[in-house]
Amino acid sequence: MSKALLKTIAKSIPVTDHTDYRTWLAAVYVAAKSSDPSYSYTKFSNDLELGSSNAHLIVSGKRDLTEKAGNKIIESFKLTGKQRKYFSALVTYQRSRSTKDREQAFNEMMSLKSEVLPTTLSKNQLEFFADWYNAAILELLRLPDASDDPQWLNKTINPKVSVPQIKRSLKLLTDLGYLKMDQKLNRLFPTEATISTGNEAYGMAMVSYHQQMLDVAKQSINDVEASKREISATTMAITTSLRQQFKQDIISLRKRMIQLANEVEGANEIVQINMQLFPIAQTKENQDD
């Protein structure tokens, strides 16, 4: 396979569709392999000027991409414009150990992602998950005694959200079709519209949403009295198969909670439920997953 064809393939797969440079490089390699069955990771690595084996080590997660190697990939693929900036920010985001640098890189990725989304709807869907309080306001307005007055919402939501932020949120939720005027209640009320993100926005939206909700959870430890919250943590040694079972148990519990919430009548409060399971030590098994 010629380098010219490889560049064409790489440019046909937007970097901005990915939140991990490994998945993007893997997608480029798979497309190249489909075009030329004889193409190998050794050739891929050499084409990217990474040596004879580094490309596979990077894609498999066994080696991180350095800034220097990232620049080689940018030049090898001749990435330009927003795709070039996004890839550079993605490398910084994933390799930086500084919280400030990671946040700055992620915000740049969010901004670039919004710019390349094809429709206003997709951009609005990304914006919905970009701020945690959009979902909170939407659910809060389901309560019978709720008000769509920004001042009331400002006094009710915890952690605090400014009035200008609330006004922008109400407009966004209305533009998305998640809220509309209820003539009987004489205020905005949630519709039956399904909340989702298009494929173009999903990955970035979910990363932003979960990061913010973890921050809100941390804040609740100090801001919410213990009797009104449940925060616990357990560290344990398990097998790989048990980890998979735990994941399924968490998914099943979350679905059960959603079912119960949908069936309840007379809801009178809004809560956030976060559940996490993640490795805190690098073992051979979880490196090979």
**What average pLDDT does the segment 173-182 reach?**
94
pLDDT computed for residue 101 by the predictor: 87
Type of residue numbered 180: K
What is the enclosing helix (H) or strand (E) of 188?
Answer: strand 187-190
b (16+ CB within 10 A) / e for 115-146: ebbeeeebbbbbbbbbbbbbbbbbbbbeeeeb
Geometric angle at alpha carbon 16, from 218 and 161, rounded to 5°: 30
Rounded to the nearest 10 degrees, how much is the dihedral formed by the CA atoms of 230, 219, 132, 101? -130
Write the pLDDT tens digit of every residue in 78-92: 999 999 999 999 999
pLDDT computed for residue 52 by the predictor: 80
pLDDT at 198 over 60: no
pLDDT computed for residue 179 by the predictor: 95
CB 42 within 8 A of CB 64: no
pLDDT computed for residue 289 by the predictor: 59
b (16+ CB within 10 A) / e for 249-281: eeeeeeeeeeeeeeeeeeeeebeeeeeeeeeee
Instruction: Select from 7, 47, 10 the least CA-distant residue to 28.
Output: 10
Q: Which two tokens stand for residue 191?
A: 């519709």
User: For residue 34, what pLDDT band results from cuts at 50, 70 and 90?
Assistant: very high
pLDDT computed for residue 193 by the predictor: 72
Write the pLDDT tens digit of every residue in 200-257: 556 777 787 888 888 899 989 988 999 999 998 999 999 999 999 999 999 999 999 9
User: For residue 120, what pLDDT band results from cuts at 50, 70 and 90?
Assistant: confident
Instruction: Select from 168, 187, 11 the least CA-distant residue to 83.
Output: 11
Q: Is the peptide bond before 164 cis (omega within 30 degrees of 0)?
A: no
* Residue 75 vs residues 42, 78, 79, 96, 112: alpha-carbon distances, Å: 18, 5, 7, 21, 20
CB 57 within 8 A of CB 63: yes
Q: Which segment, 26-40, 45-59, 116-130, is predicted with the most confidence on average?
A: 26-40
Q: Does domain 117-228 have CATH number 1.10.10?
A: yes
Q: Is 182 helix (H, G, I), strand (E, B) or coil?
A: strand
The full set of domain ranges for the chain reads 3-116, 117-228, 232-289
Distance CA 142, CA 281 (A): 42
